[in-house]
A = this chain, B = another copy of it.
């Protein structure tokens, strides 16, 4: 039942060979029309639905191995495919079909005094390396977003999902064989060792960019070892600062939503900063509501004191403030005002999403101007930092770096530009 891996002498040989194949395919893929690419994506969506039974069988091998190894239930749940989930993944591919193709747009067109016509146009990045963990949906999402933008892709998923990914890529490549997109544009690294991922990080000239998706350790390894350019995604230590003049109901509603609507994701809140005058009055209510929602609290001395008997709160350490919990845990720190809140965010934030709740437009403007983050919010939950919520559709990740793209990364993040210069014999004097 298990799909057999091709044999390579070394993980490095596999990474290099597959990246070379992807690069060759990228040249012909780059010049396809939107219609040709959408047609290939539609075939992919259909194949996923038609071959659901095979996918479930392959997935069951991974699940069984996971159960045998004592893998945590939450990880097994992320790994698990069901007919509904496969239908959802296919529907995701159709959503990508519906998005506008960002390739081939004219960014600007200039005629120079010497008669040169310079046109800057959008082009695919080329070959994208994706390094991720055991979520099979990422395999298909990434493939769809890359192919739609005319990019070849080398996928390297987690070993826990290997049989599922092998089958998924077999299904996707099978679908491409009846389309104008070369099947070689889609490559899966089959060696599950760390060495294969590390080899990808050094493939300058073959890979144009690496996008890591996963936990902090995976992302750190990519940042520290890649010589290929990287788009950093995901780490989120996000704050909500409640100013003294905030509406208490609004502040509580936003804070609860930012913490518990989905604690496992990067745009959820890890630390709540309360103005001291606000905290003095409202801390017991906030502490009780968080406890009620199942949130474990850690607090600064003032936060603990103001909470009184409403909730027992552990002392928060510097390390707590620097931790991305992704869980039902929250730090609450009482601060003197805006400046102290800005300092805390500058020190502990990961430049992802930061919020102020205040009745003052002036205070809000100072916060929005001065906080250095991909998304800065006034009176709304940080949970909105997301491609769908911003109206961009599917995203390949959320960039927390400043180069190339910042925040939700939709299709345009997978393009570059090129200058086409047309002359009639011009030379430089």
Contacts and interface: CB of A to CB of B under 8 A. Distances in A.
Contact of A370 (B27, B346, B379): B27
B118 A390 contact: yes
Contacts of A374: 418-419
Given A27-B372, A31-B370, A381 B427 contact: yes
Interface string A388-429: 011100000000011110110000000011111111111110
A333 interface: no
| 3 closest Cβ pairs, A-B complex | A380-B423, A257-B427, A402-B416
16 contacts: A110-B390, A112-B391, A125-B403, A208-B401, A209-B402, A229-B403, A253-B427, A254-B425, A261-B428, A368-B420, A376-B418, A378-B423, A379-B426, A380-B423, A380-B424, A390-B419
A293 interface: no
Nearest to A257: B427
Contacts of A30: 370, 372
A403 to B, nearest CB: 4
A80 interface: no
A68 interface: no
Question: Copies per complex?
Answer: 2
B208 A421 contact: no
Interface of A: 27, 30-31, 110, 112, 116, 118, 123, 125-126, 204, 208-209, 223-224, 227, 229-232, 247, 250, 253-254, 256-257, 261, 346, 364, 368-370, 372-381, 383-385, 389-391, 401-404, 406-407, 416-428
